[in-house]
Amino acid sequence: MRAELFGTLPDGTQVHRWTLERSGVRVRVLTYGGIVQSVEVPDWEGQAGNAVLGFEDLAGYLTHPEPYFGALVGRYANRIARGRFPLDGLTYHLAQNDGTSSLHGGEFGFDKRVWDAEPVEHGVRLTRVSPHGEEGFPGRLEVSATYTLDGNGALRMAYEAVTDEPTVVNLTNHTYWNLSGSGNAGGHELRLAASRFTPVDADLIPAGELAEVDGTRYDFRAAGKAGSGYDHNFVLDKGVTDDAVEVAELHDPVSGRVVTVATTEPGIQLYTGGHLSAPFAPGDGIALETQHFPDSPNRPEFPSTVLRPGDVYRSETVYGLAARQKLS
């Protein structure tokens, strides 16, 4: 494991890149936005290749911030309707950076911050303090995100946070997977352990219904082509769990590469990259964002995202990385 200077922001702040390597897998993580820049994993023939979308230099991320390539997003991943939410009798107003909604923490969320970094065994721990009122969210939030590789080369992301005032927290990683290394990812085979999903309105805000996937294009309980046109939250059958449980698998039949997703979270946002633009094209990457549901602060019937003083927010997601022999 090593760190190196990756670039410098316009204000002079240095950005470093950490390289994690174990069991044939190499992962590069930036202190800017907690970004996973690359995940190199062998294909079925043993040839290593990058399985995620990213840029070679810092300028690429500064020029193309909106798709959140590989980023750690927060304070609240996904959308909060009308950029506001009630909590303990007060209404908090957030930055509206996606139409009238607040998306992925606002205009200057965690994905655009430089994190402190320190080495841990087989990985790196990123930390920062989000001050009270940042992007409109209440409470001083102390956050850590620890990225490690286990003995099998699986990438583990463990998040923790504490607050001094009641607030809402929903953290995720926004990596776009392309297991072929290039081209359109719509031919990847996807499996999701989700019998329900949350239909959305024109602003991609949940309508409130937990709809059954049976008989719809949202049914990935048996593996099928990922296709296109998805930006939806799937309700994982397992619900919230203390330990990470496998809920998804993405397989590229060309390279043989497979990524499995295990998480403690109750939902997963499937985004098939329909709005990606140059230097990439629509459909070039698939995001599997483990999360609580969109707009949960306004939906008391959804699992709660409220964090109170004295409690600890914990979330864990594990990406298993492997390859299957190509079938003749």
Catalytic residues: 174, 289
Give the C-alpha separation, 161 to 181, whole Å.
34
Give the C-alpha separation, 258 to 263, whole Å.
17
- Cβ-based neighbours of 56, under 8 Å, separated by 6 or more: none
For 26, 28, 37, 95, 139, the CA distances from 23, given in Å and listed in that order, are 8, 15, 19, 42, 40
- Cβ-based neighbours of 10, under 8 Å, separated by 6 or more: none
One DSSP character per residue, 223-281 reads -EE--S--EEEEE-TT-S-SS-EEEEEEE-TTT-EEEEEEESSSEEEEE--TT--TTS-
- Cβ-based neighbours of 125, under 8 Å, separated by 6 or more: 117, 118, 119, 144, 145, 146, 147
To 10 degrees, the CA torsion angle through 16, 20, 26, 31? -30
CB 294 within 8 A of CB 129: no
For 36, 106, 135, 167, 261, the CA distances from 138, given in Å and listed in that order, are 28, 13, 9, 6, 31
Would you state the structure tokens that stand for residue 34, as one six-digit string?
A: 């907690």
- Cβ-based neighbours of 126, under 8 Å, separated by 6 or more: 29, 31, 34, 72, 115, 116, 117, 144, 145, 146, 147
CB 145 within 8 A of CB 111: no
